[in-house]
Amino acid sequence: MNRGLNRFAIVVACATFFLIIAGALVTSHDAGLATPDWPLSNGQVFPKMVGNLFWEHGHRMVATTVGMLTIVLMFYVLRKEKRSWVRKLGVFALLAVVAQGLLGGLTVKLMLPLAVSSAHATLAQLFFCTTVSLAVFTSRSWIEARPIEEEQGVLPLRYLCTAALVTIFLQLIIGATLRHSATWDQQLPTELVLTHIGGALAVTIALGSATLTVLRRHKDEKFLTRPALIALLLLVVQLSLGIAAYVTRLASPNDPQPLNPMISITVAHVACGALVFVSTIVLTLRTYRVLPRRSALRESFLQDYGIRQDLHVNPE
């Protein structure tokens, strides 16, 4: 394990989280078109950071920093990492951040169309997922993890966690579409709000059952219970923030400009959504690391009952 590489991957993941907050501040301030050009801002490399330009250009600056950190991370991974799939993930992270930067520029050039702005918001979450995964794969706890037994005849935990992860990702896409469908001075479309509430219910059921199953089946395995508890706690915070975001967005069209608490609550909802997502990713990756595959479960079942594998594979 390379401690330096792991620490640097953690720094890049934290910087990405900060970038997501900076991006959400652009949207909540309705500052996306503070400057209509890109890659320059109002024809300048560094404009005066006044009014909404503070948020828009500030976001570009943070994005540039994260882009540069990702380049360094990729070279660091290529130099120090032996596992080829981790090396590939390092290259993928760079490709993802470049694509994300281009989508950011495109959404400005095209004047914030719903599809491009929502894609920019969604790819941000996927990029965050990539940097967090790099931090997980290079960590000591991942490399030194030992297999854990799972009871037979039960629904494998990895499937429960994967289902929760997919549900959350779909909910993030619905959330991004909802958020970019109406600016602060317009009411949110009811059908999308209802879809998002349905999504929240699905996430609560999927993530609730995955995390509670972890806590019930593996209560002494901190490697699994820690991310499960964090994900559960964040889910509760996210649901409360969602309700608060809805209430403040109902009132915001009557305001003269985007104001607090709407700005802070909607930004917190985006940020906490990202945290729910990555804590579930950590949990899911860890279940894949330490719990047996279904075929391994089947093999041990057959062995327990003294059934020879080769009889099944080749009856002759």
The residues, any chain, with a CB within 8 Å of residue 118's CB and separated by 6 or more, are: 173, 176, 177, 179, 180
Alpha carbon 301 to chain centroid, angstroms: 36
DSSP string, 240-273: HHHHHHHHHHHHGGGSSS--TTHHHHHHHHHHHH
Extract the tokens encoding 6.
């792991």
If the CB atoms of residues 158 and 196 are measured against ligand HEM, the closer one turns out to be: 196
If the CB atoms of residues 158 and 249 are measured against ligand HEM, the closer one turns out to be: 249
Least Å from the CB of residue 127 to ligand HEM: 5
Least Å from the CB of residue 150 to ligand HEM: 27
If the CB atoms of residues 148 and 263 are measured against ligand HEM, the closer one turns out to be: 263
Least Å from the CB of residue 106 to ligand HEM: 9
Least Å from the CB of residue 26 to ligand HEM: 4
Residue ranges that bind ligand HEM, judged by CB under 6 A: 19-20, 23-24, 26-27, 32, 38, 59-60, 63, 66-67, 97, 100-101, 104-105, 107-108, 112, 117, 120-121, 124, 127, 168, 171-172, 175-176, 178-180, 188, 196-197, 200, 203, 235, 238-239, 242-243, 245-246, 249, 266, 269-270, 273, 276
The residues, any chain, with a CB within 8 Å of residue 75's CB and separated by 6 or more, are: none
Query: Cα(219)–Cα(21) distance, rounded to whole angstroms?
Result: 34
If the CB atoms of residues 36 and 147 are measured against ligand HEM, the closer one turns out to be: 36
Least Å from the CB of residue 281 to ligand HEM: 13
Query: Cα(45)–Cα(297) distance, rounded to whole angstroms?
Result: 59
Q: Give Cα separations from 60 to 31, 34, 71, 212 (angstroms).
A: 12, 12, 16, 40
Least Å from the CB of residue 251 to ligand HEM: 12
Query: Cα(115)–Cα(128) distance, rounded to whole angstroms?
Result: 20
- Half-sphere exposure at residue 167, Cβ-oriented, CA atoms within 13 angstroms: 25
If the CB atoms of residues 16 and 139 are measured against ligand HEM, the closer one turns out to be: 16
Least Å from the CB of residue 163 to ligand HEM: 14
